[in-house]
Amino acid sequence: MNRLSVLLVGVSVLAVGCGASSPTEPSTGTLTTSTFTVPLSPANEVPAIANADANASGTAVIALTVTKDDSGDITSASANIQISVTGFPAGTVVTDAHIHGGPAGVNAGVAVNAGLSSGELALANGSGSVTKSGINVPSATAAAILNNPAGHYFNVHTALNPDGAIRGQLAGGGATLDPGTPVAY
């Protein structure tokens, strides 16, 4: 009987111990996308473009998707950027495109690289478009863009204007919840 009692007490302790440590539920977050439609103009570059790219224009549509944790902090972010340009001289080669952290009238460093390779957007007839998806955006940069879109600009660089040919400030950025929100991670 003593061995059976010891065995039953041991099993009871294990059962109680197992019940006391319940598994943690996965943390949930919120996934939102803010879309910025940015008109691009050579007149917005600093200084304004006055050479062969001066008749160009374009639009960048930036969809910034962020995941926020339960306390509202951004834990991850990515961007999809669609760039459409027109009015460039035939044969123009787009060399780069970026989101910069700077207000209107001020040149600033790159905050988010669109990831274009030189010649990826070749403008045989002076017009063209490209979409870049899944661009990694640092959480702090995403927060800065969302908190002050007008403090950021997007521009497109060409071989003729390596510092930027057409530019526009971000504005608005209406956020929409993506399907499946909240998400578990």
**Rounded mean pLDDT for each run of 10 residues along the chain, 185 residues in total:** 46 44 56 96 98 98 96 96 98 95 96 91 94 97 97 97 97 59 39
| Residue-level pLDDT at 175 | 56
Can you say whether the dihedral through the CA atoms of 85, 89, 95, 97 is positive or negative? negative
- Give this prediction's pTM: 0.80
Residue 3's alpha-carbon distances to 9, 12, 90, 148, in angstroms, are 10, 14, 93, 72
Distance CA 33, CA 55 (A): 32
| Residue-level pLDDT at 172 | 77
Tens digit of pLDDT for each residue in 72-99? Answer: 999 999 999 999 999 999 999 999 999 9
Give 57's Cβ-side CA count (13 Å radius): 2
